Structure 1
Amino acid sequence: MANQQNSNPAARSARQAVAAALRAATYEILPFASTEEKVLDHVPTNVPLTVTTTEAKGLGPTVDLAVNLCEHGYRAAPHLAARQVEDRAHLRDIVARLREAGTDSVFVIGGDAREAGKYPDALSLLEALEEIGHPFSTVGIGGYPEGHGTISDELIEQALKAKAPHATQVITQLCFDANTTIRWARKVHSDGVDLPIRVGIPGAVSRQKLIRISAGLGLGQSAKFLKKQQNMFWRFFLPGGYSPDKLVERLVPAFAQSDNNLQGFHVFTFNDLESTESWRQRWLAELS
């Protein structure tokens, strides 16, 4: 938990910036059968949500949940995985459903599907969305402070620069080293990508919850998940689970600086919504 209020003006500014980031945090959720009920029970409607997608389940459950939550008054952004969009007609159908539900934000990724339809990567889908006149005021793209397991750093940097003109914000993958995230954000800024960055952090997740989530993804998807998140997974098996407090505290100074565009938090909840929202409220109470 945060320390007591520091009389140093720079420290106060940093704390104020982090408080603002936590107030405006977005939550990432998984499209399981119980997710909608959990959101309604534990998440205020002013917390924006993103809904993940998996190769096994496809885009259907993701779009369905985003639409349902929007009807409940939430701002829910579906992950649109380019490789799971079959063609232009499929894309138009998805956009029409989201438009009808009042969805004004999406998060565009390439996705892990081996077989791709018309859109092999996030950039091609972003361009197609613009061509059909999408109504989304917020368009997120991915950032990789620790790189990508199968794509070189040079290609990742080039892709971010190419996607940036089509997006309104960057959301990073989980990274447990604050210094790595800050260095990456400074480089992104110096490279001319001037989008606000939401830092991906874990929620207050118990190891029991993570085991259940992993099992719910199915064997194949769980194997992919664990392979991509090896650095993260063991941390949740500490006694009592993992607390993101230290990570947030180490990110605090950067939020008061102008060389990195760090402007918000994106919380990977793993559907442990009650614990995550309680954790966020404790931080906000302390920072205020």
Structure 2
Amino acid sequence: MMSTEINEPAINEPPTRSEPILLGKRDALVRALRNASYEILPFKKTEASVLEHVPLDVALTVTTTEAKGLGPTIDLAVRLSRHGYTASPHLAARLVRDDAHLTDIVAQLREAGVQSVFVIGGDAAEPAGTFPDALSLLQRLDEIGHPFSTVGIGGYPEGHGHIPADLIEKALEQKAPHATQVITQLCFDADTTVNWARTIRARGVALPVRVGIPGAVTRQKLVRITAGIGLGQSARFLKKQQNLFWRFFLPGGYSPTRLVRRLTPSIGAPDNNLAGFHVFTFNELEKTQTWRQEWLARLDAS
């Protein structure tokens, strides 16, 4: 009987020894890959997977969802920090109820030695309390004494599904003084990302930019993830990541290697502040770590 299974793309496709794109950019690319951060989802087996596959020098961010609330995100960031990782929880402003709730969150994180956070507005239809957006939460964190040394904010090279482009970029300019870095959403078009980075730099946002790239994840893994985050959350996830899913069903699928190649000429350029990679692992940590180490091994041998 003929199999109907679609072969997976070569997601771990390693770079070859004769990468012409790397000429003159090797050192910047090595720094970007060596200092890459990983985004993880707070599922039951995540902690064990991190401990098994991720070295301590890889910074982590822990996502949050409306369905599960901030609790699992904070708890995982605390546990990973106690293991010695630099773990940054996503603080979704619309899930923070009030000052007392924020104070409790900050106290939990500081007690565990967490020094960094990633502040987002969040996808909740209605705010749970007094923080309707990321800016309001950032301002309040400043008012209570700048409790974190590293504060990330989101960047949107392809815009935001629910906010007009001019407003989202204005919001970025307003948030930038309260932050230390920008982490972009996934974008598969390198030119779009680079042009966006140049634009925000020209508008005065001088923060280093970590470019969001997909890790070495299979489509089966994405299906399992969306099945595990709840029907409503899955629908929103699929809507936001439809570009990712579409890529999986094109001939050859996608490889993070190809996107890295296209971004490489712009890494470290003074007109865009592209400073590194933020890898959306979708918890496919072993494959993603192997892919990154293959890149670094090739570069070290060049």
TM-score (ref. length: structure 1): 0.96
Percent identity, please. Answer: 70
Name which of 232, 237, 241 aligns with 1:225. Answer: 237
Superposed counterparts of 1:3-82, under 5 Å: 3-4=16-17, 11-82=22-93
CA contact (8 A) 1:215 1:222 kept: yes
Does 2:289 correspond to 1:267?
A: no
Deviates more, 1:97-106 or 1:254-263: 254-263
TM-score (ref. length: structure 2): 0.91
Name the CA distance, whole Å, in 1 between partners of 2:240 and 2:22: 35
Letter in 2 for 1:64: D
Q: Secondary structure at 1:97's aligned position in 2?
A: helix
Residue of structure 2 equivalent to 1:245: 257
TM-superposed CA distance for 1:147, in Å, is: 0.3
Does 2:205 correspond to 1:186?
A: no
Residue of structure 2 equivalent to 1:110: 121
Q: Secondary structure at 1:281's aligned position in 2?
A: helix
CA contact (8 A) 2:36 2:278 kept: yes
Q: Secondary structure at 2:24's aligned position in 1?
A: helix
Residue of structure 2 equivalent to 1:101: 112
Residue of structure 1 equivalent to 2:98: 87
Q: Secondary structure at 1:13's aligned position in 2?
A: coil
CA contact (8 A) 1:206 1:242 kept: no
Distance 1:3 1:259, change over 3 A: farther
Name which of 126, 134, 155 aligns with 2:146. Answer: 134
Letter in 2 for 1:263: A
Name which of 15, 36, 57 aligns with 1:2. Answer: 15
CA contact (8 A) 1:70 1:102 kept: yes
TM-superposed CA distance for 1:16, in Å, is: 1.4
Deviates more, 1:141-150 or 1:235-244: 235-244
TM-superposed CA distance for 1:3, in Å, is: 4.4
Name which of 194, 209, 228 aligns with 2:221. Answer: 209
TM-superposed CA distance for 1:277, in Å, is: 0.3
Structure 2 gaps, min length 5: 1-13
CA RMSD of aligned residues (A): 1.6
TM-superposed CA distance for 1:183, in Å, is: 0.3
Residue of structure 2 equivalent to 1:199: 211
Q: Secondary structure at 2:267's aligned position in 1?
A: helix
Name the CA distance, whole Å, in 1 between partners of 2:52 and 2:31: 24
CA contact (8 A) 1:207 1:240 kept: no
Name the CA distance, whole Å, in 2 between partners of 1:6 and 1:118: 51
Name the CA distance, whole Å, in 2 between partners of 1:71 and 1:241: 38
CA contact (8 A) 1:207 1:237 kept: no
Structure 1 gaps, min length 5: none
Letter in 2 for 1:2: P
Name the CA distance, whole Å, in 2 between partners of 1:137 and 1:268: 23
Name the CA distance, whole Å, in 2 between partners of 1:169 and 1:204: 24
TM-superposed CA distance for 1:11, in Å, is: 4.7
Distance 1:36 1:81, change over 3 A: same
TM-superposed CA distance for 1:19, in Å, is: 1.1
Name the CA distance, whole Å, in 2 between partners of 1:27 and 1:241: 22
Q: Secondary structure at 1:258's aligned position in 2?
A: coil
State the Cα deviation string for residues 213-240 of structure 1 (Å, max 9, x = none): 1111111111000011111112234688
CA contact (8 A) 1:207 1:241 kept: no
Name the CA distance, whole Å, in 2 between partners of 1:115 and 1:151: 15
Runs of 4+ aligned structure 1 residues displaced above 4 Å come to 237-241
Name the CA distance, whole Å, in 1 between partners of 2:177 and 2:236: 30
Name the CA distance, whole Å, in 1 between partners of 2:278 and 2:248: 18
Letter in 1 for 2:176: A
Name the CA distance, whole Å, in 2 between partners of 1:210 and 1:67: 26
CA contact (8 A) 1:171 1:198 kept: yes
State the Cα deviation string for residues 101-123 of structure 1 (Å, max 9, x = none): 00000000000111211000000
State the Cα deviation string for residues 30-69 of structure 1 (Å, max 9, x = none): 0001100000010001100000000000000000000000
CA contact (8 A) 1:204 1:242 kept: no
